[in-house]
Structure 1
Amino acid sequence: MEAGGNAPADTNPTARTSARVGVQIQQSRRLPDFLQSVNLKYVKLGYHYLISHLLTLCLVPVMIIILIEASQMNPDDIRQLWLHLQYNLVFVITCSAILVFGSTVYIMTRPRPVYLVDYFCYRAPDELKAPFESFMEHSRLTGDFDESSLQFQRKILERSGLGDETYVPEAMHFVPPRPSMQAAREEAEQVMFGALDNLFANTNVKAKDIGILVVNCSLFNPTPSLSAMIVNKYKLRGNIRSFNLGGMGCSAGVIAVDLAKDLLQVHRNTYAVVVSTENITQNWYFGNKKAMLIPNCLFRVGGAAVLLSNKSVDRRRAKYRLVHVVRTHRGSDDKAFRCVYQEQDDAGKTGVTLSKDLMAIAGGALKTNITTLGPLVLPISEQLLFFATLVLKKLFQKNIKPYIPDFKLAFDHFCIHAGGRAVIDELEKNLQLLPEHVEASRMTLHRFGNTSSSSIWYELAYTEAKGRIRRGQRIWQIAFGSGFKCNSAVWQALRHVKPAPNGPWEDCIDRYPVKVVQ
């Protein structure tokens, strides 16, 4: 789990220290300003990705030129060419060998396109809603929190950006709460099966057609696994390639997509299903350590099921094509590794501790990720401006601020992980985005809370429900995760996308956007 929210400082020194943990942004705790130093090695890494496909980039224009020239030849030109080739056998053999070799290399190295046929986000029943005052009253009645902890939670909720319609699992609605393995399984089944039932109904995909299954859930990993629960429920075929990713935090949704993409490059003519969720029931914190209380206030029930395909026939009905996935891992740094850490407090109660360095570490991971992503997606004009200022700074050692490329020229829509209001605020500022670019993230946080790895799909669903997706537009999904990781996925719309029936925003999209209390 990851979080980032806002809360005022506490008069108690301990509370004040804890309140800084991804809650109230102090000058030293905010995301680093990207107008400062840029690490050149990550720029090089981005160009390495680009150059790795250089052969394809060179061959395609050459083949296009040859086809254009051939189409402009008249019968006399063709006759003269044939006579010329009859007397130049070595030339013919050489050209044929080059053509065959080039075509073979192109076919073997060309990545197969991966299509997003459809996806579905789960929405819990209304009886599981947790309005602000009900949440606080319930927390008081449990008897597990002292007055200081209750006030701390109230301050976080007031500034979190969450609305009154988010959901908590059924076990948390009882007094006292009833977290158990069975209740956690029931929550997982409701979320995963609810999303998958609607996905299969919308796409008419049969269980026997699914060849790959990837499930990610960070904190709940029972035996048999969540992926095995899905195989059992839908009677998936015996040779399905199933994977269960655990402990990878809020960025695991992009990791799961990347794994499915790699598998689809190897296994032909098949479907891959990705299920991203988090489990709240057994991971509620019942102690008084403030750094562990923040997830209680931000994380809510949610999940998404995504259908990917490498079948060429699915291009016509697919919504999007996967363009790029860029993953950044800062786990080699000890502070980054421990900034989101599941452990027990002094009373032996388990929870997730959020370090006071979380925002700074997230900013470093983000800078690394977007610096690598830039060469893959930015227009040449933006890259030239960036390199011009970077070279001037390196050569003349002057206090020249690197030019920060305008990512609004590369992407039409932004799906920033709804981890908390603070993260969205800082990304809006540092990437110089407009309010409409972060609207989907803010409204997802308001309506559904932090649903962990599935939040980027609720945001995409919001944009679709608003009727804003047009053919050819690019969408940037970016998420942060424990470890510490920052991952990006870039999609291109294959058509004007209409909202799916029974979507999570179907009966409430007209009420959004709403003004969120600052």
Structure 2
Amino acid sequence: MTASVATYLLRRCRPVYLLDFNVYQPSDRLKCSHETFKEAIRAQGCYEPGTLQFMDKILESSGVGGEAYMPPELHRPPLWDLSLAMKRQESEMVIFELVERLLRDNSLQPHQVDILVVNCSVFCPTPSLSAMVVNKFGMRPDIITYNLAGMGCSAGLISVSLVRELLQVYPGRRAIVVSTENISQNVYLGNQRSMSIPCCIFRMGGAALLMSNRRADARRAKQCLYSAGNRQACARRYELLHVVRTHMGAHDEAYRCVYQEEDDAGIVGMRLDKALMRVAGLAVRDNLTRLGPKVLPFMELLRYAINQGARRLLKMDLPVYLPDFNRAFDHFCIHTGGKGVLEAMEKQLGLTPEHIWPSKYTLWRYGNTSSSSIWYVLACIETQVGIRRGHRVWQLAFGSGFKANSAVWRARKAVHRRHEAFLPPKDHTLSVLGPCPGASM
């Protein structure tokens, strides 16, 4: 009996908590209007008229507003400095501020961090970005570090998944996850249209998370209520319930639909294939197939099973039944890949305007911030809507590989944090999409 109890205690999953997170709020001087961006790309002198017209069209239809942010160097006419030094400086500016604020807000010293994971898809210098953080903050020599690169816009949840696995092995640990992207590295100076799209939709941003499996942290995990810049303590905690990862890379079309390569002139860029939307839909569908049994109510699963049985066994000509995920989750954080992407996800998932609004608004306000976008959406929800105790939050991200990843969190306390990134008066674009339906502002 004693041996059985010991085996159970060793094998059971340790709960993993999200204690805190913050998103990067750039300086107002880094806001880049559509006109400013158009002037900047014309000043480079390398784009043909047809390419400029195409980029103008993409920019105007992307769903990205005129107050999203670009790194300092991309504001300086006429020619951009795309040197390694400038790219490293951009990453330092974002990552250092995120980590410093996370430590300060949670009264932590760098030596109290046990695990560090940094993900940035297109920029991978030597030493790594995780080593850069260790050096800056003087973290202890036995810290466990990982640096994830080349994993696209879904890498933030890959980092969360990695930390979850590490926290099952190492009890009583704290982990920091930093998700960001390097916009300077993403600049493409050629005339291949499929490779010029990323320049139009990606913008500066990042997020830092504090995760833990410490029992003491589970008891004291907190939420901060931000009101006019004043911080007051109140309870807040998310528990990680599920992470589901799917990878379509075995199929050539999926593998190559987001692909970094040289164009005919030898200029390196990120090519987005026309098959991207279809591949993304298939990847998300496969992810939902694996996630559904873990989260859907029994009646939704029963309806789906009956539909599948009628179609496959009885050969009945019926449309595929799409389970109602609105019954499984209270809040949705969909990756802000672009206006068309969000509209496709809204239709495919049958989301209500209330559920898709935070993602659309985040896209307008901050653009596509790659792997950190789902955390901007959660910050938007916490600020504009609020999250009740017991509410379930679904984060869905997808990107190169091709991968689709999901994470499900449960709020252990009511959350109505006032994130600076979504507070007036800095936030001037709320009227563009209108207020969030059902917002508690």
Q: TM-score range by the shorter chain?
A: over 0.9
Q: Which of 344, 348, 354 pairs up with 2:272?
A: 354
Structure 1 residues 511 and 159, CA gap change in structure 2 (3 angstroms):
closer
**Could you tell which deviates more after superposition, 147-156 or 314-323?**
314-323
- In the superposition, the TM-score normalised over structure 1's length comes to 0.79
> Is 1:215–1:274's contact at 8 Å kept on the other side of the alignment?
yes
- 1:310-333 deviations in Å (ceiling 9; x for gaps): 011212325200000000000011
Asked if 1:252 is matched to 2:155, the reply is yes
Say which SS state the counterpart of residue 358 (structure 2) adopts. helix
Name the larger-Rg structure: 1
Q: Which of 366, 380, 385 pairs up with 2:284?
A: 366
- 1:383-434 deviations in Å (ceiling 9; x for gaps): 1111111112222111122321110010000000001011100111111111
Q: Which of 103, 110, 116 pairs up with 2:12?
A: 110
Say which SS state the counterpart of residue 178 (structure 1) adopts. coil
> Is 1:324–1:489's contact at 8 Å kept on the other side of the alignment?
yes
Q: Which residue of 2 aligns with 1:404?
A: 322
Asked if 1:162 is matched to 2:102, the reply is no
Q: Which residue of 2 aligns with 1:476?
A: 394
Q: Which residue of 2 aligns with 1:10?
A: none
* Percent of matched pairs sharing the same residue: 49
> Is 1:169–1:281's contact at 8 Å kept on the other side of the alignment?
yes
Q: Which of 199, 205, 208 pairs up with 1:296?
A: 199
> Is 2:55–2:196's contact at 8 Å kept on the other side of the alignment?
yes
What's the C-alpha RMSD, in Å, of the aligned pairs?
1.4
Q: Which residue of 2 aligns with 1:506?
A: 423
Q: Which residue of 2 aligns with 1:135?
A: 37
> Is 1:465–1:509's contact at 8 Å kept on the other side of the alignment?
no
Q: Which residue of 2 aligns with 1:6?
A: none
- 1:52-90 deviations in Å (ceiling 9; x for gaps): xxxxxxxxxxxxxxxxxxxxxxxxxxxxxxxxxxxxxxx
Q: Which amino acid aligns with 1:386?
A: Y
Structure 1 residues 497 and 484, CA gap change in structure 2 (3 angstroms):
same
> Is 2:186–2:198's contact at 8 Å kept on the other side of the alignment?
no
Bigger relative CO (Cα 8 Å, ≥ 6 apart): 1
Asked if 1:261 is matched to 2:179, the reply is no
Measure how far apart 1:241 and its partner are: 0.6
Q: Which of 138, 141, 145 pairs up with 2:47?
A: 145
> Is 1:327–1:488's contact at 8 Å kept on the other side of the alignment?
yes
Distance in 2, Cα, partners of 1:333 & 1:430: 22
Measure how far apart 1:509 and its partner are: 5.5
Q: Which amino acid aligns with 2:401?
A: G
Measure how far apart 1:513 and its partner are: 5.6
Say which SS state the counterpart of residue 113 (structure 1) adopts. coil
Distance in 1, Cα, partners of 2:164 & 2:409: 13
Distance in 2, Cα, partners of 1:437 & 1:282: 33
Asked if 1:381 is matched to 2:299, the reply is yes
Distance in 1, Cα, partners of 2:304 & 2:320: 7
Say which SS state the counterpart of residue 432 (structure 2) adopts. coil
> Is 2:386–2:417's contact at 8 Å kept on the other side of the alignment?
no
> Is 2:242–2:407's contact at 8 Å kept on the other side of the alignment?
yes
Say which SS state the counterpart of residue 438 (structure 1) adopts. helix
Distance in 2, Cα, partners of 1:323 & 1:158: 39
Q: Which amino acid aligns with 2:11?
A: T
Distance in 2, Cα, partners of 1:115 & 1:498: 18
Q: Which residue of 2 aligns with 1:31?
A: none
- The ranges of structure 1 where at least 4 consecutive aligned residues each deviate by more than 2 angstroms after the TM superposition are 100-106, 506-516
Distance in 2, Cα, partners of 1:515 & 1:462: 14
Measure how far apart 1:283 and its partner are: 2.3
State how many pairs are aligned: 417
Say which SS state the counterpart of residue 114 (structure 2) adopts. strand
Q: Which residue of 2 aligns with 1:334?
A: 252
Q: Which of 385, 400, 414 pairs up with 2:332?
A: 414
**Higher strand share goes to which structure?**
2
> Is 1:467–1:497's contact at 8 Å kept on the other side of the alignment?
no
Distance in 2, Cα, partners of 1:372 & 1:440: 25
Distance in 2, Cα, partners of 1:402 & 1:160: 30
Q: Which amino acid aligns with 1:412?
A: D
Asked if 1:184 is matched to 2:84, the reply is no
Aligned ranges 1:91-102 → 2 under 5 Å: 97=1, 100-102=2-4
Structure 1 residues 513 and 383, CA gap change in structure 2 (3 angstroms):
farther
- 1:11-30 deviations in Å (ceiling 9; x for gaps): xxxxxxxxxxxxxxxxxxxx
Say which SS state the counterpart of residue 381 (structure 1) adopts. helix
In structure 1, stretches of 5+ residues that fail to align are 1-96
- 1:157-197 deviations in Å (ceiling 9; x for gaps): 11111111111111111211111111011100011011111
